[in-house]
Amino acid sequence: MSVRFQIKRIYEPAAKADGARVLVDRIWPRGVSKQKAALDEWFRDIAPSPRLRKWFGHDPERFGEFRRRYRDELKSNRIAVKHLRDLAKKRRVTLLYAAHDEEHNHARVLAEYLRGRSK
């Protein structure tokens, strides 16, 4: 199932190879129209909690601890995780996010988790 999940910034153009395009941010990204986003779904419930998101603040030095805490949240959010895994059984799923940092963001952690990888 690992190839069934990929991540992409919402600001990149949509492509056929994206499969199902799922926005996994709790907040709608600035400057992106619904038409341009070309979403199949906006799945806010899988995003980090507001408290965790604010604590992290996109600080790369906090990313290791953020990853651990977010994975704990995902373990408690089984229905949402199952929903995305079920979607991936049908076709590729592109997890869309708005963060500027392509290495230190929740979509990367989510994709790892969905693929069954731990770090």
Residue-level pLDDT, tens digit, the chain, 119 residues: 456 899 999 999 999 999 999 999 999 999 999 999 999 999 999 999 999 999 999 999 999 999 999 999 999 999 999 999 999 999 999 999 999 999 999 999 999 999 986 44
Contact 60, 104 (CB under 8 A): yes
pLDDT of residue 68: 98
Q: Which domain holds residue 97?
A: 2-115
User: Which stretch of DSSP H or E encloses residue 1?
Assistant: none
Q: Which of 51, 74, 50, 66 is CA-nearest to residue 101?
A: 66
pLDDT of residue 112: 95
Count of domains forming the chain: 1
pLDDT of residue 78: 94
Q: How far is CA 66 from CA 14, 53, 72, 79, in A?
A: 29, 9, 10, 21
pTM: 0.92
